[in-house]
């Protein structure tokens, strides 16, 4: 316990320091799968919450694009999406990737914009077998192969430092310049910007503050990974908690979580313009109702004197507003003195120091509105009191 507290305090202060560079973590909690075949887009479009058809559209919006080893590759941004059950409750989240169009493959050939399409996805490792079984159950006669390639590929996250402070242009330029295979001059590539693995970092498709994400061959070290900046995945969890973002089928309870309460709309996981998909009716009805009364928030656990307390609160703990005497939500994730919880917004910020954990004396809860939240999610008085 003492060792954990020491590590937590050291990591927390490091993550909140802009004087240090970004950190990078191998995400062992995520596994990589691959979808391939002529029906890949159609198959996923009918299952996932986001508009997967965008992967089949060329960025140039022209059918005259011809891949060539003498032309620079065209980069297609990754996509965050969710797979729901028929009742509209969350099952799994996926980060989908398509290799750059016209980019050199590992075998030296050039990828083509026609024919079968391959999409890779990083998914929650703890539900990998179940997820693969579920996708294959929906496959029926679709011409799509679904393969576990977790032995061959790994997921990494680059986060913290001043990454979130860069402009979109700067960040996109950096993301598009690392970890790729140049089409012409291999010898001129800077070792700090990439290598020859044929994969790259991308801006996290959810929100800018989360940094960069990428899938890389397991036997290769991704660009920008150095002994001084590689860190335990625990740090990435702390970074997400600080920014109010849940990930995976444990932090977003499988079969129970309502996607809009876990802010998946604001995390760019849901398209309201695409056609039908599993669970779409419930999502559309909830969205058009216009008001989401409960949302996932970042939490800090304190004692009566305002000092942070660690390892005292666990997932499932109920949160009470002592001012009103009402149960307003529960903790979904907890580590050290930080956590995530789904709370009623009208009660979460009503009076300073009024939130406590049911059945635990001397522990208060501070709810924090993540800075990336759209202003429309709060009324004017809530915005003023809830900013982190």
Cβ-count burial of 217 within 10 angstroms (0-12 exposed, 13-18 middle, 19+ buried)? middle
CA torsion, points 248, 367, 206, 284, in degrees to nearest 10?
A: 80
How confident is the model at residue 377, as a pLDDT? Answer: 85
Query: E-strand spans in the chain?
Result: 23-26, 30-37, 79-84, 90-97, 117-124, 145-148, 153-159, 202-203, 212-217, 294-302, 318-321, 326-335, 338-344, 355-357, 364-368
Cβ-count burial of 157 within 10 angstroms (0-12 exposed, 13-18 middle, 19+ buried)? buried
How confident is the model at residue 11, as a pLDDT? Answer: 52
How confident is the model at residue 140, as a pLDDT? Answer: 92
CA atoms of 167 and 303, how far apart (whole Å): 39
CA atoms of 12 and 327, how far apart (whole Å): 30
Q: How far is Cα of residue 328 from the mean position of the Cα atoms in its chain? A: 26
**Quick one: CA dihedral 366, 371, 372, 373, positive or negative?**
positive
Could you read off the pLDDT of 202-233 as tens digits, one per residue? 999 999 999 999 999 999 999 999 888 999 99
Show the CA angle centred on residue 187, arms to residues 186 and 192, nearest 5°. Answer: 90
DSSP 105: P
> What global pTM score does this model have?
0.83
Taking 70 as the pLDDT cut, the residues of the chain under it are 1-20, 58-75, 100-116, 164-198, 351, 379-388
CA atoms of 238 and 364, how far apart (whole Å): 20
How far, CA to CA in Å, does 123 sit from each of 46, 127, 135, 227, 231?
18, 8, 12, 26, 21
How confident is the model at residue 259, as a pLDDT? Answer: 97
How confident is the model at residue 79, as a pLDDT? Answer: 97
Could you read off the pLDDT of 54-92 as tens digits, one per residue? 998 765 443 444 444 555 566 689 999 999 999 999 999
How confident is the model at residue 188, as a pLDDT? Answer: 26
Other Cβ atoms less than 10 A from the Cβ of 330: the count is: 15
How confident is the model at residue 101, as a pLDDT? Answer: 61
How confident is the model at residue 70, as a pLDDT? Answer: 55
């Amino acid at each position: 316990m003492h060792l954990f507290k020491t590590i937590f305090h050291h990591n927390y202060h490091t993550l909140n320091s802009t004087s240090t560079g970004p950190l990078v973590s191998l995400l062992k909690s995520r596994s990589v799968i691959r979808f391939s075949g002529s029906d890949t887009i159609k198959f996923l479009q009918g299952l996932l919450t986001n508009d997967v058809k965008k992967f089949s559209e060329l960025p140039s919006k022209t059918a005259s694009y011809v891949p060539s080893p003498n032309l620079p590759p065209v980069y297609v941004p990754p996509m965050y999406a969710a797979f729901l059950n028929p009742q509209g409750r969350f099952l799994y989240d996926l980060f989908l990737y398509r290799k750059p169009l016209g980019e050199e493959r590992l075998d030296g050939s050039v990828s083509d914009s026609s024919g079968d399409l391959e999409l890779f996805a990083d998914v929650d490792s703890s539900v990998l077998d179940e997820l693969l079984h579920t996708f294959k159950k929906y496959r029926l006669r679709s011409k799509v192969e679904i393969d576990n390639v977790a032995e061959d590929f790994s997921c990494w996250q680059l986060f913290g430092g001043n990454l979130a402070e860069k402009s979109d242009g700067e960040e996109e330029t950096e993301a598009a310049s690392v970890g790729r295979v140049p089409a012409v001059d291999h010898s001129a590539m800077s070792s700090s910007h990439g290598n020859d693995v044929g994969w790259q970092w991308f801006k996290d498709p959810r929100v800018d503050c989360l940094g960069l994400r990428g899938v890389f061959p397991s036997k290769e070290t991704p660009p920008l990974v150095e002994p001084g900046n590689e860190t335990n995945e625990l740090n990435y969890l702390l970074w997400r908690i600080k920014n109010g973002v849940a990930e995976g089928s444990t932090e977003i309870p499988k079969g129970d979580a309502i996607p809009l309460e876990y802010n998946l709309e604001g995390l760019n996981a849901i398209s309201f313009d695409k056609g039908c998909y599993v669970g779409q009716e419930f999502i559309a009805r909830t969205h058009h109702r216009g008001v989401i009364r409960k949302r996932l928030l970042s939490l800090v656990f304190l004692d009566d004197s305002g000092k942070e307390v660690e390892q005292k609160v666990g997932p499932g703990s109920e949160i009470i507003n002592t001012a009103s005497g009402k149960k307003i939500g529960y903790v979904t994730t907890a580590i050290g003195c930080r956590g995530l919880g789904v709370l009623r917004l009208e009660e979460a910020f009503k009076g300073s120091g009024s939130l406590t954990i049911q059945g635990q004396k001397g522990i208060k809860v501070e709810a924090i509105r993540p800075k990336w939240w759209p202003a429309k999610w709060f009324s004017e008085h809530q915005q003023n009191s809830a900013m982190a």
